[in-house]
C-alpha cells in the first residue's frame, strides 16, 4: 500500500530509527522561520531540531534569535512573519486566549499522542494550539562551597533568617509564576491558595542580596559564590556543570520542584500551514527531544524518549519518568489568568520591606 506524504513523515518522526525519506519529500522549497530565545536555546534548536529536520526532509528551518518570541508574535498579529516560535506555557496560554495562535487537530500532530495530555496547550474545543518540545524544572541551585545541599531540603529553608544577604532572587514577573507556586505548596497550599506562600516569599525576600534582571547575572552570582543559593532553572545548572562548575548543584526539595513545560506554536494565519504542521509534529517527537536533553539538559516530554546510562547519572540516577514524578505541574491557566494581580501584590510586598 502506498503511504501518503504525511503518513510517511509521521512514521519517520515517531521513531528514533533512521528511515529513507521519499525523494518527493526532499524536493520541498521555501524556508520556515522559527523564533527562539538566543544563546544556548538558539544553539539547541539549530543543532538538535532544525538541522536534523532539514537533513531528513529537505525543509530548511531557520532559527531566528530574538529577545522575546511572544513579543514578535504580538507585534506581527494579522501579518505573521514567523512560522513558529517557542514560549513558556503561560505565554502560550495567554496568546491562545487572545486568539493569536493557529490550531491543529491531533491527526495533524500525531506525535502529541505520546505526550501526556496534561502537558498539551489545548483550546476549549479540544484543538491543539501548539506542541510540547520539552520541560525544564525550577528547583533550588546551591553553591556547595557556601552551603550544603541539606541546608535546602525544603523550600521553607529559603525564608530562614540565617541566610540574610546570602540568597539571590529573580524579578516579580517570575516570582509570581514559579517561586510563589512552590513556596505555597511548602506552606500547605498551592497555586489556588497562596497566602502561606506569600509569607514565605516575604521571608525569602528579606534574605536576598540581589534581585537579578538577567540569567547571566544569576549564573555569575552562583558561580562566584556571591550567593549561597537561589531558586533557579535546571537547564542553567546543567550548563554550569557541563562547563566544569561542578560545585553548583541542582536540588529538588522534599516538596518537589516546579515542572516548566515549554510550547512551540504557530501564529494565527501562518503561511505554509501543512509544512508547519509537519515541523511541529517533528518537534513533538522523541528523537529531537533526546538530542535536546543530551545537549542542554531539557527533559523530553515524549514518553518514547529513552534516557541513556550517561544521562541517568547526570539526573542523579533517575530516568525521565522517575524525575517527572518529583515535579509539580500546576494549573498554568489559573496562574496566567491571575498573573497581573499577583505581580502587583508581590511588588507591593517588596516595596514594604
Domain ranges within the chain, ordered by starting residue = 5-130+260-324, 136-256+329-351
* Residue-wise pLDDT tens digits, 288-325: 999 999 999 999 999 999 999 999 998 989 999 899 89
If 0-12 CB within 10 Å is exposed, 13-18 middle and 19+ buried, where does residue 144 land? middle
* Residue-wise pLDDT tens digits, 233-278: 999 999 999 999 999 999 999 999 999 999 999 999 999 999 999 9
* Residue-wise pLDDT tens digits, 185-219: 999 999 999 999 999 999 999 999 988 878 889 99
pLDDT surpassing 90 at residue 11: no
Q: Give CA 46 to chain center in angstroms.
A: 17
pLDDT surpassing 90 at residue 32: yes
pLDDT surpassing 70 at residue 13: no
Show the beta-strand stretches assigned E in the chain: 31-36, 60-65, 84-88, 135-143, 167-169, 208-211, 229-233, 248-251, 257-265, 327-328
Mean pLDDT for the chain? Answer: 90
If 0-12 CB within 10 Å is exposed, 13-18 middle and 19+ buried, where does residue 71 land? middle
Question: Do the first three CATH levels of 5-130+260-324 and 136-256+329-351 match, i.e. the same topology?
Answer: yes
pLDDT for 284: 98
The three cell numbers locating residue 123: 483550546
pLDDT surpassing 90 at residue 5: no
The three cell numbers locating residue 150: 541539606
Among 24-28, 48-52, 114-118, 302-306, where is mean pLDDT lowest? 24-28
pLDDT for 12: 38
Say which CATH superfamily domain 5-130+260-324 falls into.
Periplasmic binding protein-like II (3.40.190.10)
| More confident of the two residues 164 and 215 | 164
Q: Which CATH number fits domain 136-256+329-351: 3.40.190.10, 3.40.50.2000, 3.30.230.20, 3.90.550.10?
A: 3.40.190.10
pLDDT for 20: 29
If 0-12 CB within 10 Å is exposed, 13-18 middle and 19+ buried, where does residue 170 land? buried
Mean pLDDT, range 37-55, rounded to an integer: 95
Between CA 221 and CA 340, with CA 353 as vertex, the angle to 5 degrees is 80
pLDDT surpassing 60 at residue 15: no
Mean pLDDT, range 91-100, rounded to an integer: 96
pLDDT surpassing 70 at residue 28: no
pLDDT for 194: 98
Let me know: does 110 contact 14? Beta carbons within 8 Å. yes
pLDDT for 210: 82
pLDDT for 87: 96
pTM of the model: 0.82
Amino acid at each position: 500500500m502506498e503511504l501518503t506524504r504525511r503518513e510517511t513523515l509521521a512514521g519517520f518522526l515517531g521513531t528514533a530509527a533512521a528511515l529513507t525519506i521519499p525523494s518527493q519529500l526532499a524536493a520541498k522549497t521555501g524556508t520556515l522561520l522559527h523564533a527562539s530565545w538566543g544563546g544556548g536555546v538558539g544553539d539547541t534548536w539549530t543543532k538538535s531540531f532544525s538541522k536534523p529536520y532539514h537533513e531528513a526532509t529537505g525543509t530548511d528551518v531557520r532559527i531566528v534569535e530574538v529577545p522575546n518570541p511572544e513579543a514578535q508574535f504580538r507585534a506581527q498579529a494579522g501579518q505573521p512573519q514567523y512560522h513558529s516560535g517557542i514560549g513558556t506555557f503561560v505565554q502560550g496560554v495567554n496568546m491562545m486566549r487572545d486568539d493569536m495562535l493557529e490550531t491543529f487537530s491531533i491527526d495533524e500532530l500525531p506525535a502529541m499522542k505520546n505526550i501526556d495530555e496534561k502537558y498539551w496547550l489545548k483550546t476549549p474545543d479540544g484543538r491543539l494550539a501548539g506542541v510540547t518540545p520539552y520541560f525544564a524544572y525550577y528547583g533550588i541551585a546551591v553553591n556547595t562551597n557556601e552551603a550544603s545541599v541539606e541546608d535546602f531540603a525544603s523550600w521553607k529553608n529559603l525564608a530562614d533568617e540565617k541566610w540574610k544577604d546570602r540568597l539571590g532572587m529573580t524579578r516579580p514577573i517570575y516570582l509570581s509564576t514559579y517561586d510563589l507556586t512552590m513556596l505555597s505548596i511548602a506552606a500547605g497550599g498551592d497555586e489556588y491558595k497562596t497566602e502561606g506562600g506569600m509569607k514565605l516569599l516575604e521571608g525569602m525576600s528579606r534574605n536576598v542580596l540581589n534581585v537579578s534582571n538577567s540569567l547571566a547575572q544569576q549564573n555569575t552570582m552562583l558561580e562566584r559564590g556571591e550567593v549561597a543559593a537561589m531558586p533557579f532553572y535546571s537547564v542553567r545548572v546543567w550548563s554550569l556543570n557541563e562547563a566544569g562548575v561542578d560545585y553548583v548543584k541542582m536540588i529538588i526539595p522534599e516538596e518537589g520542584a516546579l515542572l516548566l513545560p515549554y510550547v512551540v506554536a504557530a501564529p494565527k494565519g501562518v503561511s505554509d500551514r501543512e509544512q508547519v504542521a509537519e515541523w511541529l509534529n517533528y518537534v513533538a517527537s522523541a528523537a529531537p527531544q533526546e538530542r535536546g536533553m543530551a545537549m542542554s539538559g531539557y527533559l523530553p516530554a515524549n514518553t518514547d524518549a529513552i534516557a541513556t546510562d550517561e544521562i541517568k547519572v547526570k539526573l542523579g540516577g533517575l530516568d525521565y519518568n522517575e524525575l517527572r514524578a518529583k515535579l509539580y505541574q500546576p494549573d498554568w491557566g489559573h496562574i496566567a489568568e491571575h498573573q497581573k494581580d499577583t505581580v502587583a501584590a508581590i511588588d507591593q510586598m517588596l516595596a514594604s520591606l
